[in-house]
Amino acid sequence: MAYELLLSRIADCLHRSELSETAACEAAGVGVNTIRHIRKRGHSPKIENLCKLAYFFGVPPAYFLEAAAVGGEASDGQMLQVQTVFVKGAVQAGRWKDAVEWAPTDWYPVYTPTNIRYPNVEKFGLLVRGDSMNKVYPDGSIVIAIKFSDIGSCPQIGQRVVVVRRSVDGFEATVKKFDKDGKGRIILWPESFSPEYQQPIILDGAHKEVYDGSSACAPDVSIEALVVGSYRSETL
């Protein structure tokens, strides 16, 4: 049976809660037939739905997600792969914010689909604060990023990137959309519904941008990482 391990774990949770499938789905905020469709039709479950069910039952999301990865296939016939990414810091989408990595004891995991393009590249999460990217990353979202130095690549127009600036007190970071104008200048755009955040950061020849983050000269502004995904918990 497809998703046998996942369904076994869900059944255990249902037994402990003394709820029916429909009642549990309704209480968790997912479609009332979510579990039934996995069991009867072998439907590939949505990761966000499994997370909601896990939160409702009081178990870690990985308890369901890992079981789904073992037992099921996605709708295109490929195995559903889930990766664990640790959130290691915060980034201010609207303004420069001190780029300080949290102590490892403060890291916490999120569970996302494996990125097919970069399956073996180390990834990290950053908690988004502020509203300058709220068209795509509302305050409280988590962006998943990889370092350009790890993929040997430069940013391309249209990509969203993590930008680091050297300041008097250390380093600051922000998230922006990468672009270039007709003069070859780098334009870092906010993507916001707020009128307060409509002006881009423009980097001209006075800046010595280092795209791959490998320079030891510590440039004033460097584009350090590529955003490859994002995660946002639903309000329960």
- pLDDT, one tens digit per residue, over 14-45 is 999 999 999 999 999 999 999 999 888 777 88
Using the predicted structure, report yes or no on whether residue 197 has a pLDDT greater than 60. Answer: yes
Residue % of the chain over a pLDDT of 70: 81
Are the C-beta atoms of 102 and 91 separated by less than 8 Å? no
Q: pLDDT band at residue 213, thresholds of 50, 70 and 90?
A: very low
Give mean pLDDT, residues 107-112. Answer: 82
Residue 55, Cβ density class (10 Å: 0-12 exposed, 13-18 middle, ≥19 buried)? middle
Q: pLDDT band at residue 144, thresholds of 50, 70 and 90?
A: very high
Res 156: pLDDT: 94
Q: Which CATH class is domain 84-231?
A: mainly beta
- Please choose, from the candidates 186, 179, 234, the residue with its C-alpha nearest in 3D space to the C-alpha of residue 210: 186
- Rounded to the nearest integer, the mean pLDDT of the chain is 81
Q: What is the CATH number that goes with domain 4-71? A: 1.10.260
Domain ranges for the chain, please list them.
4-71, 84-231
Strand positions, DSSP E, 32-169:
82-92, 97-98, 108-113, 124-129, 142-147, 160-167
Res 214: pLDDT: 45
Res 222: pLDDT: 85
